[in-house]
Amino acid sequence: MPEPGTVIERGQIRVESGRVTHAGAEVAARHPGEPVHEFPGCVLIPGLVNCHTHLELTALRGAGRGLPFAAWIQLVTREIAAHDREFWMESARQGARECLAGGVTSLADYSTHGVSSAAIAETGMRGVVFQECFFPDPRAGLAAMLEGLGRGVRSLEELAGEDVRVGVSCHAAYNAARPALKAVVQEFGDYPRSIHAAESPAEDRYIREGRGEIAEAHRERGIPVEARRMSPVEYLDNAAYWRPGTLAVHLTQASRGDFAILKARGVSAAFCPVSNAALGAGVAGIAAARRAGLTCGFGTDSAISSERLDMFEEMRFALLASRVRNDPLAPSDVFAMATAEGAAAAGIEGAGVLTPGARADAVAVRLPRPPADSTVVDRLVMQASSGDVRAVYVAGRLEVSQIP
C-alpha cells in the first residue's frame, strides 16, 4: 500500500539513498541483481504517524489508572516534579523504541523536560517536539515562564537531529492564562504551535462556568477563576492563539461551531480516542471534524493514560467509537489519518506515503488469512496490532526486524 486508497497485489518498492524510487508490481524484475527483502503473508505500508505523544512520561505507564480527569492531571503534575533529567531521558528512549517497534516512523511529541528530541533522533524517526509550558495564574510574572520555555526549546534544539523540528505548546486552556497565551504567541511566533484543547467535560466547565473540579483545585492554590462564558476553542481564538498550522489536540468537547472556527483559522486536529476513553473524557466527533474540512490525525497520548503506544489500536478504537456516536468512520478514513493525513496534520512533509521521491519509511505487517468479503485496509484496521509488525524501515534502513 504505497498510499491510502491504493493497494498493489504482490507490490514492491525500490529504495535508493533512503528514498523510494519505484513502487508497483514486478519492480525487482526491472532491476536484476539488486538484493530483495521479502515478507510473505505481510502487507507493506507507509510508516505510521503518531500525532500526539508524551515520550518522556512512558516510564509512568498506568499511573493513576481509573482516576477522573481532574484528579489524574493533579497526579501527573506531582509525578513530573518528582524525577530527574536522567529518568526522563531514559523514559523517552523507552517510548521512542516502543513507537518504532509498533510501526511509527514519524511523530509529534510533547516535552516537559526538554529531552525527548534526543530519543527521537536516536531512532532515526522524524517529526516535531513541542516544548510545553504551564501558567494558570494570570497574576504571576511572565518572565520566569518565558525563561523556562526558552530553556526547554534550546535544550530540545541542541539534542534534535536534522529530521526533528522544535515547537511550543501552552499545555491546555485550563492552565494557560490569557497573559501566557499572548506572550507565547508574541515571543515564539516563528515556532510550530500546539495545545491540548476541549479535552474533557471538566475543562469545558472550567472555561465556560468557572466551576467544577479544575476550578476547585485552582481556588485551593489561590488562583483566581473566571467564568468565560465560551468554549475552550473560542477562548483560545479570542486570545489569538490559533493560526494556520497549529495542532489542536483531543477536542472531545468540540462542537460543529468550534470545528468551523478551527477550519477558518487553518488549524489541524490530533485525536486520541484510547486515552480519552481511559480518562472518561468523551468521544470526539472525528467524522464531523473531517466534514468541516479539518486535516486530522491520531495520537496515542502518553503511556500514563493509554498504557499502550499502539497506533493500530487507535485506528480500531476510533472506528468503533464513531459507531457509538452514530457518525461512523470507514476503515479507509482511519488508515489515512494514521498515515498521510496525519502527516499533513502534524506538518511532517512527505511522511505517510511510499510513492516515488518519498523517504523510505516502510512497515511490514503480518495479516491473517482474509475473510472473503474483507479488504486489506479492513483487516489492517480491525485485526492488526503493533504485535503484528514484522519489520520497520526508516529512510531505507532496517531498524526493526521481528520475523519469527
pLDDT digits (tens, 9 = 90+) for 353-374: 999 999 999 999 998 776 667 8
pLDDT on residue 404:
63
Residues 68-73, mean pLDDT to the nearest whole number: 89
Q: Are residues 139 and 185 in the same domain?
A: yes
Q: The domain that contains 374 carries what CATH number?
A: 2.30.40.10
Measured CA to CA in angstroms, residue 225 lies from 228, 236, 400 at distances of 9, 16, 49
Query: Do 246 and 336 share a domain, yes or no?
Result: yes
Q: Which of 17-26, 123-132, 315-324, 367-376 has the lowest mean pLDDT?
A: 367-376
Same domain, 84 and 140: yes
Residue 266 shares a structural domain with residue 389: no
The full 3-state SS of 181-225, as one line of letters, equals: HHHHHHHCCCCCEEEEECCCHHHHHHHHHCCCHHHHHHHHCCCCC
- CB-CB contact of 173 with 203 (8 Å): yes
Looking at the structure, tell me whether residues 302 and 383 fall in a common domain: no
Single out the residue of 57, 129, 111 nearest to residue 347, CA to CA: 129
* Same domain flag for 185 and 309: yes
Q: Could you tell me the pLDDT band of residue 161, with boundaries at 50, 70 and 90?
A: confident
Asked whether residue 134 falls in the same domain as residue 38, the answer is: no
Task: Tell whether 292 and 366 lie within a shared domain.
Answer: no
HSE-up of residue 81 (Cα within 13 Å, Cβ side): 6
Query: How many domains is the chain built from?
Result: 2
Is 141 in the same domain as 125? yes
What CATH number has the domain bearing residue 62?
3.20.20.140
Domain membership of residue 6 (yes or no) is no
Same domain, 128 and 232: yes
Model pLDDT for residues 7-45, shown as the tens digit of each residue: 888 899 999 999 999 999 889 999 999 999 999 999 999
For residue 25, how many C-alpha atoms fall within 13 Å in the half-sphere facing its CB? 5
Q: Name the band, by pLDDT with cuts 50, 70 and 90, for residue 174.
A: very high
395 and 375 housed in the same domain: yes
Give the residue numbers spanning the domain of 391. 11-46+354-401
Q: Are residues 322 and 373 in the same domain?
A: no
| pLDDT over threshold 80, residue 389 | yes
Any domain includes 297: yes
Mean pLDDT of the chain: 95
**Contact in structure between 384 and 365 (CB atoms under 8 Å):** yes
